[in-house]
Structure 1
Amino acid sequence: MTELPSRPQDRAEEHSGILRVATYNIHKGVQGMGPARRLEIHNLGLAVEQLDADIVCLQEVRALNRREALYFDRWPEVPQAQYLAPEGYEAVYRTNAYTRHGEHGNALLTRWPVVGHKHQDISDHRFEQRGLLHVEVLVEGRPVHAIVVHLGLVPGSRIRQVAQIQRFIEREVPADAPLVVAGDFNDWGLQIKRMLAGFGLFEYDENPQAYTYPARLPMVQLDHVYVRGLRPISLHVPRGRIWWRMSDHLPLIAEFEL
């Protein structure tokens, strides 16, 4: 890792007028399988701080896992969202999936004050438990709404989940409020992109190769940051061995003018 950035409150002043949003599927903080699997949550904690984002949207975040806590000597004593939050950040987590050994879901970390948050189950069938996390954040005194998503693996499910997201936005987000929808969309085609554009959500389009998956040799962009009411100005994917060792996805960083 390179040198850690300055304190969150200092960085907030430096980035005045710019909203920096990152999304990252952290693969539950563990890489590999069986006896060869390794704990990456400690490295991810350093990585999240290096993203230097005002809002960090995380997927596949564990609240607890009893089996892994017994297997790894250095398993954190607090939930992963809380562990990953840099000093001065607030963490919001909600569960999407309950498993035999624990639970996992989406999280949002932010250096700005959290006004409120909600969760909605958007599961499309019983084999995949999915949800959205909605957080309202006060950025430079201005309400900004952020929705963290992790869509399903089945194409038809993703279409129906986007329709659920649209209905949620119409019900819960004021039409004139800045809105960010970010996460792992599990889709590299154009249908989801067109659906989101149909209700005013767009992403930065001048970096056509913002590939995030698979991390070791990225060939597709599964992760996206869409916005409404903000102007996209950049999109960046950190690369290198240090990043692809921590998760099967690479993080995606987007910047917007407030």
Structure 2
Amino acid sequence: MPVQLKAQHATKERKIVRVLTLNILHGATTKGDFDLDVISDVINNTKPDLVALQEVDYKTKRAKNFDLTTELAQRTGMTSYFAKAMDYDGGAYGEGVLSKWPILSAKNIPLPHQPTSEPRAAAEITIAISPGDTIRFIGTHLDHLKDNRDRMMQVQAINQKLIPGDYPSILAGDLNDTPGSEPIEILESKWSAAYQETTLEPTFPSDDPKGKIDYIMYTPKKAWKVLESKTICDEIASDHCGYLVVLELLP
């Protein structure tokens, strides 16, 4: 008598990555009361897998000698990496990244700037989001001056240093320029931006957002699908809105 075997249908789990970028105003808050719990609440309520933090202090006097990246990692249950851009106020200042996954490798990428300008950096980490699926995550903060010469050098350096890469990649941060500007267009020649031109999702200032200067981008385009994007505007936590993008890593 033939034996009927029950068919087994294996359903592959979707690889979803929730990415948040947030300028944390060196922990000061817009009230100036240095409240890291307000900032960590924004992160925890958003439930991100990866976070890019800008304006991050490491043991400076103004930040009460706290290592802000580590403090926020502890408050959110994530792993962390800090990339120093410059010495500042008895400590350091730069970029931080948080990850719910263990960090496999990390690199501080100094970005070019004019001698009189503030140094900038990019924090690059690699993580495995599932067995066999390694990605790169890069957090950065570009120059803020009206003159875009530093930003132009910095976006060109990002493209040259990070493209092409060994893994699907996500770039997040405060890029200090608006959609359609020359620096953003240079980045978008190599990276796909998550925002739609019809809905730019302004991120600054947080109490009345008028302009988009915070971004999440990804490459290669065929590796990712944007499922959702939105701003998180807490006018106390920061003068910037957080920007959340939910991505799916495609097979």
Residue equivalent to 1:18: 16
**Between the two proteins, what is the percent identity of the paired residues?**
22
Normalising by the residue count of structure 1, what TM-score does the alignment of the two structures yield? 0.82
Tell me the amino acid that sits aligned with residue 173 of structure 2.
Answer: G
Normalising by the residue count of structure 2, what TM-score does the alignment of the two structures yield? 0.84
Equivalent-residue separation in structure 2 for 1:92 and 1:24 (angstroms): 15
Residue equivalent to 1:162: 155
SS at match of 2:193: coil
Higher helix share: 1
Residue 87 (structure 2) aligned to one of 84, 88, 98: 98
Residue equivalent to 1:41: 36
Residue equivalent to 2:100: 111
Tell me the amino acid that sits aligned with residue 50 of structure 1.
Answer: N
Equivalent-residue separation in structure 1 for 2:138 and 2:204 (angstroms): 21
1:65 is the counterpart of 2:60: yes
Deviation at 1:82, TM superposition (A): 0.9
Instruction: Identify if the C-alpha distance between structure 1 residues 159 and 96 changes in structure 2 by more than 3 Å, giving closer, same or farther.
Output: same
1:179 is the counterpart of 2:169: yes
Number of corresponding residues: 228
Deviation at 1:40, TM superposition (A): 2.4
Tell me the amino acid that sits aligned with residue 30 of structure 1.
Answer: A
1:212 is the counterpart of 2:212: no
- Structure 1, unmatched stretches of 5+, are 1-14, 70-76
Contact 2:202–2:213 (Cα < 8 Å) also in 1: yes
Tell me the amino acid that sits aligned with residue 256 of structure 1.
Answer: L
Q: Which has the higher Rg, Structure 1 or Structure 2?
A: 2
Contact 1:204–1:234 (Cα < 8 Å) also in 2: no
Instruction: Identify if the C-alpha distance between structure 1 residues 161 and 67 changes in structure 2 by more than 3 Å, giving closer, same or farther.
Output: closer
Equivalent-residue separation in structure 2 for 1:68 and 1:151 (angstroms): 22
Residue 127 (structure 2) aligned to one of 137, 145, 151: 137
Residue 222 (structure 1) aligned to one of 213, 225, 230: 213
Tell me the amino acid that sits aligned with residue 79 of structure 1.
Answer: D
- Structure 2, unmatched stretches of 5+, are 1-12
